[in-house]
Amino acid sequence: MAEARLLISSRNYSSWSLRGWLLTRMSGLAFAVETVDMDEPARRAELLLRSSSILVPCLMHDDLSIWDTMAIAEYLAETCPDAGLLPKDRAQRARCRSICGEMHSGFGALRSSLPMNLRSQRTGFRIWAAAQADIDRITWIWTHCLQEYGGPWLFGEKRTMADAFYAPVATRYVTYDVSLDAICAAYRDRLLAWPDMQEWKREAMDEPMAIDELDVEF
């Protein structure tokens, strides 16, 4: 199987890139990473949620270009079925796709008011009502899945695409000092301790890129 290429943007700021990278890592597909130029206005617009389309990350494999993290996830699940990106059980696959889709298309208040920034720490951050509603919904999803499927991951003993989709949320909860109950805090910490997440964070710490609009205190 040919080596793939994954285009990403910022490791520090881009939750989309983190999801795409985690999914590709989980698939076992051999791939090289290329970072796009964030001085390009269109790429900055994506990070600042001012673009109607998200074209990074983009997975290039077998003469195909696959952008959008849901498309990447489904492509990798088909291409690398033994990786277990989706649960084996039909009902669990449906639930997994549903909560991934909800993260992919929803939680706009959380995205806009608590943007991903791994290098930032904002103790005592004031969370507005709309963002808190998103947090409450994610808390319900995490608790329901962990209790129904037994943990330690959202669908049991093995990580699935759902864990990759919600991993960037765990970083936001640390950055903005979000209070969680014991079950969700333990899952947050498990996501953050994931070796791939640790590797991504180390790279993010060394990233020279800075985007003033995302580093401002608000």
Q: What is the pLDDT of residues 32-83, one digit of tens each?
A: 999 987 666 555 555 544 444 568 899 999 999 999 999 999 999 999 999 9
Specify the DSSP element, H or E, that contains 79. Answer: helix 69-79
Specify the DSSP element, H or E, that contains 31. Answer: strand 31-35
Tell me what the pLDDT averaged over the chain comes to: 90
Is the pLDDT score of 216 beyond 80?
Answer: no
Tokens read off for 188: 């947050």
Q: Give the Cα separation of 34 and 21 in Å (integer).
A: 11
Strand 58-61 with 64-67, pairing: antiparallel
Nearest to 160 by CA among 211, 111, 88: 88
Say if residues 103 and 165 touch (Cβ distance below 8 Å): yes
- The phi and psi torsions of 115 (rounded to 5 degrees) equal -65, 150
Structural domain spans, the chain: 4-83, 90-201
Find the distance separating the first CA and the last CA of the chain, reported in whole Å: 47
Q: What is the pLDDT of residues 105-115, one digit of tens each?
A: 999 999 999 99
Query: Residues 187, 192, 195, 197: what is their CA dihedral angle, to the nearest 10 degrees?
Result: 120
Identical fold between 4-83 and 90-201? no
Tell me the whole-structure pTM to 2 decimals: 0.90
Q: What is the pLDDT of residues 184-201, one digit of tens each?
A: 999 999 999 999 999 999
Tokens read off for 46: 């994506």
Q: What is the pLDDT of residue 25?
A: 98
Is the pLDDT score of 217 beyond 50?
Answer: no
Q: Give the Cα separation of 134 and 117 in Å (integer).
A: 18
* pLDDT range class, residue 181, cuts 50, 70, 90: very high
Q: Which fold has domain 90-201?
A: Glutathione S-transferase Yfyf (Class Pi); Chain A, domain 2 (1.20.1050)
Say if residues 22 and 61 touch (Cβ distance below 8 Å): no
Query: Please, what's the b/e burial string for 169-190 (b: 16 or more CB within 10 A of its CB; e: otherwise)?
Result: bbbbbebbebebeeebeebbeb
Look up residue 180 and give its DSSP letter: -
Domain covering 4-83 assigned CATH 3.40.30.10 in the classification: yes
Residue 139: Cβ-neighbour burial (10 angstroms; 0-12, 13-18, 19+): middle
Q: What is the pLDDT of residues 115-163, one digit of tens each?
A: 999 999 999 999 999 999 999 999 999 999 999 999 999 999 999 999 9
Q: What is the pLDDT of residue 38?
A: 62
Say if residues 153 and 206 touch (Cβ distance below 8 Å): no
